[in-house]
Amino acid sequence: MMPHAATVEQVWSWLGEVPDPEIPVISVVDLGIVRDVAYEGDEVVVTITPTYSGCPAMQVISEAVTDALHAHGLEKVKLVSRLSPAWTTDWMSETGKAALKGYGIAPPVQQAIDISGLRGGVKRGAFVEPEVTCPNCGSKHTQLTSQFGSTPCKALYKCLDCREPFDYFKCH
């Protein structure tokens, strides 16, 4: 493909096609980790925020973003990591949440940005586990199995009606 200048909107839409490496049904844009796209001269700068600080997918995501933009003919791509404000599941798009559910992962059910729920929550009893809907049968009759799941961003739940275990993408 011939190199060509692309608008910022075009870059955003291309990034919307870059899948998360661990949950491929959701794009990095829907996940809410792309914070900014801008030009510095002829170089396109993509600002990304990590989900969890130890998330091993971040390096793969950086490479996937760079590769995708190169494939669309952008030669100069720079990735910048931004820690603050810290990523929150509130930045996940509705499209992303629907895709998660279709994939069998219950999407985050609360607004995490209400910090009181998270930050006041080390006192025993102050934190109430949210009501999570089973992505398989739609029942709200579910139970937390483990606060940590297959990745740091997920918890393990089970449905007490259809008896299926499932992942829940935690509010963070």
Among residues 41, 54, 94, 128, the one that binds other proteins under rule CB under 8 A: 54
Looking at the DSSP assignment, which residues form a beta bridge with residue 132?
none
Contact between 130 and other proteins per CB under 8 A = no
137 lies in the binding site for other proteins (CB under 8 A) = no
CA–CA gap between residue 142 and residue 134 (Å, rounded): 7
73 binds other proteins (CB under 8 A): no
Nearer of residues 58 and 69 to other proteins, judged by Cβ: 58
CB 129 within 8 A of CB 122: no
Residue with tokens 């839409």: 13
- CA 113 from chain center: how many Å? 15
Nearer to other proteins, 44 or 57 (CB): 57
Ramachandran bin of 101, using left for φ above 0, alpha for ψ from -120 to 50, beta for the remaining angles? alpha
Neighbours of 56 (CB within 10 A): 11
- The yes or no reply on residue 1 touching other proteins (CB under 8 A) is no
Core vs surface per residue 29-39: b (16+ CB within 10 A) or e: bbbbbbeebee
Q: Is 45 in the site for other proteins (CB under 8 A)?
A: no
Q: In this structure, what token pair is assigned to residue 123?
A: 């006192």
Size of the site for other proteins (CB under 8 A): 27
User: x/- string (CB under 8 A) for other proteins, residues 77-116?
Assistant: ------xxxx------------------------------
Which member of 39, 156, 158, 162 binds other proteins (CB under 8 A)?
156
Residues that bind other proteins (CB under 8 A): 50, 52-56, 83-86, 118-119, 121-124, 127, 145-152, 156, 172
